[in-house]
Amino acid sequence: MRKINKMDTRELIKKIQPFIEACKSQGYEFSHVYLMENMEGFPRAGYHLYFKADWIRPENDCDGLIDNLIDIYIQTITDLEVKRKIHYFTVIDESQRTHCREYPLVYDGEKQTI
């Protein structure tokens, strides 16, 4: 497995709590939010951030949801190390199936982009 310049995962989870709370306050309540280390073959070492949304249905707009989550993330996460560690967002449904595409998040030194 590739070596990641690891921030303790528990510490990373604590640092994204303002983002999770902001999502909840804007109507995006998730039954689980968890991190998984990027697998071999991904362009760089880091993490996927998964959101389990029991309320998500096939007719829900994926692009709009991911765009809103990214906007909230950019507004609430100011720690540059956190921004450099989380590379993908994935929304899964209550059956653990991927509902929304994974978007690569790239921190270019000034802003988070997709």
CATH number, domain with residue 36:
3.30.300
| Residue type at 56 in one-letter notation | I
**Residue 38 counted as domain residue:** yes
**Residue 31 counted as domain residue:** yes
pTM for the model stands at: 0.78
**Residue 20 counted as domain residue:** yes
Q: How many domains would you assign to the chain?
A: 1
Q: Is 44 exposed, middle or buried (0-12, 13-18, 19+ CB in 10 A)?
A: exposed
**Residue 86 counted as domain residue:** yes
Q: What is the pLDDT of residue 1?
A: 45
Q: What is the pLDDT of residue 16?
A: 93
**Residue 2 counted as domain residue:** no
pLDDT, tens digit (0-9, with 9 covering 90-100), for 78-104:
888 888 888 888 898 888 888 887 667
pLDDT, tens digit (0-9, with 9 covering 90-100), for 24-76:
999 999 998 888 887 776 666 788 888 999 888 877 778 788 889 989 998 99
Q: Which domain range does residue 42 map to?
A: 9-113
Please choose, from the candidates 11, 48, 43, the residue with its C-alpha nearest in 3D space to the C-alpha of residue 33.
Answer: 48
